Amino acid sequence: MDKIKSYIAEKRNTLSKSSINTYASILKNLYKRVFEDEDYNLEKFNNTEPVINHLQNIPPNKRKTILSALVIITDKKIKNPQ
C-alpha cells in the first residue's frame, strides 16, 4: 500500500494526505477485485479492458471516483463507461 501512496503523492504532489489515503484504498480494492492478485503491480492498471469491464457494474457516482484515481496513476483519459 505504501508503494501506491508514494506513487500517487509523486504524481500529484498537491493532494492532501487524506486524499492520497483514499485514492490508495480505492486502487487497492479495485486491484484485488479486477486482477485477484496480492502482489501489486501498478502497470496492470494500464490494461484497461478488465478494469472497464469491472467498472460497468459500479454505480456512476462511485465509478467517477475510481476513474479519478486511475487517471492519477495511469495518465490515461478515458470516457466514463455507460
Does 55 or 77 have the greater pLDDT score? Answer: 55
Domain ranges of the chain: 2-74
Query: Measured between alpha carbons, how far is 45 from 36 in angstroms, rounded to an integer?
Result: 13
Burial class of 79 by CB neighbour count within 10 A (0 to 12, 13 to 18, 19+): exposed
CB distance 34 to 10 below 8 Å: no
pLDDT in tens, 39-68: 788 888 888 899 999 999 899 999 999 998
Which pLDDT does position 55 carry in this prediction? Answer: 93
pLDDT in tens, 14-48: 999 999 999 999 999 999 999 987 778 888 888 88
Query: Measured between alpha carbons, how far is 79 from 3 in angstroms, rounded to an integer?
Result: 27
pLDDT of residue 80 exceeding 60: no
